[in-house]
Chain A
Amino acid sequence: QVQLVQSGSDLKKPGASVKVSCKASGYTFTSYAMNWVRQAPGQGLEWMGWINTNTGNPTYAQGFTGRFVFSLDTSVSTAYLQISSLKAEDTAVYYCARDSCSSTSCVPMDVWGKGTTVTVSS
């Protein structure tokens, strides 16, 4: 079945970096874009951006430029989110979510990973 399996929770100190993985299975990885969504504790969903899994071209939402990097390893059907210079306010659950959009229809974020909790604390 179609699923996205994310890496486990991580505890980091301020200033460190973290890399979250999202491994896809059950479909052709390069045929669907991948989004990243952040949810801070007790807060709503924030769209961080997406990566074209065919070209590797990323698009970042306002507020997620500079320290946030989306990347791919298509050989293992995996998308990555790397956050550098971590701050306490980066503490959140990070989700990957697949897009099924074409020129004729768009089903955004139809499949989600279970989320990765990143905690930034000294």
Chain B
Amino acid sequence: QSALTQPASVSGSPGQSITISCTGTSSDVGSYNLVSWYQQHPGKAPKLMIYEGSKRPSGVSNRFSGSKSGNTASLTISGLQAEDEADYYCCSYAGSTTWVFGGGTKVTVL
């Protein structure tokens, strides 16, 4: 199972919106509405931000939104804030009770 493809880095100024892409295949992202997104600050455990493609867990800001088109899922952060600077990972169900992560994207707030 190959890792999903994410851009290595994305940056934006405070208040702007940024979008992180996550490209898989017809065997994972394209076949299931089961993409999740995780935020990880340095030295910390990952935190679930989006699940089932576009749903937010309780407590996650509505500035975070998810979508999917074909084999590519996306995470959009609107109203970018300094605290959003972190690594972000997508994850997709890949069939046969397995999951696959993306390589991760470093978000920098300029």
Contacts and interface: CB of A to CB of B under 8 A. Distances in A.
A47 B104 contact: no
Nearest to A100: B51
Interface residues of B, number: 26
Contact of A47 (B40, B44, B47, B101): B101
A106 B34 contact: yes
Interface residues of A, number: 23
B47 A45 contact: no
Contacts of B104: 44-45
Contacts of A61: 1, 98
Nearest to B105: A44
B46 interface: yes
Nearest to A105: B52
Contacts of A44: 3, 87, 89, 101-104
Interface in A4-56: 35, 37, 44-47, 49-50
A112 B47 contact: yes
Nearest to A61: B98
Most chain B beta carbons < 10 A, residue from A35, A105, A112, A113 = A112
B46 A112 contact: yes
A81 interface: no
A114 interface: yes
A62 interface: yes
B75 to A, nearest CB: 15
B99 A45 contact: no
A77 interface: no
A37 B36 CA distance: 15
A61 to B, nearest CB: 6
Contacts of A108: 34, 36, 48, 51, 91, 93, 99
A43 B42 CA distance: 12
B100 interface: yes
A45 B48 contact: no
